[in-house]
Amino acid sequence: MWTELGATISSLAVAFFMLDKYSHCLPYILRGYLARIFRKLVNFVNPYVEITFLEYTGERLKRSDAFLAIQNYLSTSSTQNARKLMADVANDSQSVVLSMREHEEVTDVFNGVNVWWASGKILPQSTTISFSHITEEKRYYKLTFDKHYREIITKSYLQHVLKKGKEIAVKNRQRMLYTNNPSKDWHGWMPTKWGSLVFEHPSTFDTLAIKTQKKDEIKKDLIKFSKGKDYYAKIGKAWKRGYLLHGPPGTGKSSMIAAMANLLDYDVYDIELTTVKDNSELRKLLIETKGKSIIVIEDIDCSLDLTGQRKKRKEKDDDEADKEKDPISKLKKEAEEERESGSKVTLSGLLNVIDGIWSACGGERIIIFTTNYVDKLDPALIRRGRMDKHIEMSYCCFEAFKVLAKNYLDIESHELFGKIEEVFAGTKMSPADVADILMPKSEEQDGETCLKNLIADLEAGKKSEEAALLETKDGVVTEG
């Protein structure tokens, strides 16, 4: 069909060229008359409108969202029509996603109107060697439809295609875990700021050992946030939420982040601040994050000189230690300090970037800081509005233990539970330690043995804690 159409159009183009060339020989009125007839003729033989959607648009050659949505949309309709398809895998290799190959055509029907989609690519014109995969060839989709349906196609149909395409993208999307690459590995404008892996952490709110009430409260908060697009727009605030997770090591802070990402189906951006050169690099990194994501800065107290106090204290300790150090140790220490001082991200820089980034980016984002020492953090960093919710991850309690016993041993109730509840009171064992004890170490070790081991460990821990407390008390009394 297109070949015939092309031939007709070229004949008309020749006719028009001749008309244009010799028009000065014709009287003015006849010239206008012929031009009108010619236009009618072209409209008659080619009543179609074409819209082209390029893969890369704009000066910065950003990948077009419309192109991606169309690609996804056509992945369903084209599989029924097109003969040449391309295959890719999604969702942990669970499903195959098919899309149209170049120079294929498919027909789609919308409200009884036929439209035609064609895929193609424009090859580079010059033979110069390019270092960019983007400039080498330009892929596009071309939509053709009868001009009588211009209104319905350009409005309703395209809206329908974009909406469906985005829905398919969400369905096929593999969640990713991004980690920042050191800036020395960034090459020009190539997207190497973030390295990525498929995010496959198994932690969920069901496997998290924390009190049920707290768990439900956090889940409710997250779901409310993720559905809050209209609410945030109404109150004129950026669609973001900050969480501060604090608690001793092994209490499940990192597991909680994974559970949050799994609950909301968000990507995770894990920022290692110590490899970020300065504030402007941090800004670049954050600007590149996408919506529906959780931005994580773990151990925030260790990543930055947050309060100034840490540095001063360190300097004081170091000065004293230096007096005793030999020259080789001193040199080693200096080299280490130089490496450590690689990151010049400052607290105020971090705050500015965090506050600014929300206004610059669309789409929902959660930012999470974790720390073992909440008291060390600068109040400016964790004030309400920046970190909206503070979640304390605490030592294991009996309620949390029951979750671990179910996960690790498949035991939901046992005669030893009464004793365990009793010994848990007043102990400080992290869920990570409890989980380790509950994990059978050999084939012979059954659930009951693990529970008995736990009781023994808890009792031993309790005794040593009591002894330590007594010692301290004695110390205070003696000093007094």
Q: Which does 81 bind (CB under 5 to 8 A by kind): ligand ATP, Mg ion, none?
A: none
Residue linked to tokens 């593999």: 174
* Window 422-441: residues binding ligand ATP (CB under 6 A): 431-432, 435
For the chain, the C-alpha Rg in angstroms (whole number) is: 32
Q: Which two tokens stand for residue 194?
A: 């973030």
β-pair partners for 110:
113
| Residue 429 C-beta: closest distance to ligand ATP, Å | 11
- Rounded CA-CA distance 395/405 in Å is 16
For position 115 contacting ligand ATP by CB under 6 A, the verdict is no
For position 252 contacting ligand ATP by CB under 6 A, the verdict is yes
Q: Are 398 and 451 in contact (CB under 8 A)?
A: no
Residue nearest to ligand ATP (CB): 252
For position 49 contacting ligand ATP by CB under 6 A, the verdict is no
- Rounded CA-CA distance 126/128 in Å is 6
Nearer to ligand ATP, 116 or 398 (CB): 398
For position 254 contacting ligand ATP by CB under 6 A, the verdict is yes
Q: Which does 78 bind (CB under 5 to 8 A by kind): ligand ATP, Mg ion, none?
A: none
Three-class secondary structure of residue 48 per DSSP: strand
Q: Which does 209 bind (CB under 5 to 8 A by kind): Mg ion, ligand ATP, none?
A: ligand ATP
Nearer to ligand ATP, 195 or 249 (CB): 249
Q: Which does 431 bind (CB under 5 to 8 A by kind): ligand ATP, Mg ion, none?
A: ligand ATP
Residue 212, φ and ψ in degrees, nearest 5: -60, -40
- Rounded CA-CA distance 311/353 in Å is 22
Site string for ligand ATP, 19-38 (x = CB under 6 A): --------------------
| Side chain identity, residue 316 | K
| Residue 210 C-beta: closest distance to ligand ATP, Å | 5
Nearer to Mg ion, 300 or 437 (CB): 300
Residue 388, φ and ψ in degrees, nearest 5: -70, -30
Q: Are 219 and 263 in contact (CB under 8 A)?
A: yes
Q: Which does 255 bind (CB under 5 to 8 A by kind): ligand ATP, Mg ion, none?
A: ligand ATP
Q: Which does 371 bind (CB under 5 to 8 A by kind): ligand ATP, Mg ion, none?
A: none
Burial status of residue 80 (CB atoms within 10 A of its CB: 0-12, 13-18, 19 or more): exposed
For position 208 contacting ligand ATP by CB under 6 A, the verdict is yes
Q: Which does 180 bind (CB under 5 to 8 A by kind): ligand ATP, Mg ion, none?
A: none
Stretch that binds ligand ATP, among 205-213, 235-243, 301-309, 343-351 (CB under 6 A): 205-213
Stretch that binds ligand ATP, among 142-150, 172-180, 244-252, 276-284 (CB under 6 A): 244-252
Q: Are 219 and 261 in contact (CB under 8 A)?
A: no
In 3D space, the residue among 292, 296, 297 whose CA is nearest the CA of residue 225 turns out to be: 292
Site string for Mg ion, 251-270 (x = CB under 5 A): --xx----------------
- Rounded CA-CA distance 60/381 in Å is 34
Q: Candidates 251, 262, 289, 343: give the one binding ligand ATP (CB under 6 A).
A: 251
Element (H, E) at 369: strand 365-371
- Rounded CA-CA distance 408/415 in Å is 17
389-392 vs 240-246, strand pairing mode = parallel
Residues forming contacts to ligand ATP in the complex (CB under 6 A) are 207-210, 249-255, 372, 393, 431-432, 435
Residues forming contacts to Mg ion in the complex (CB under 5 A) are 253-254
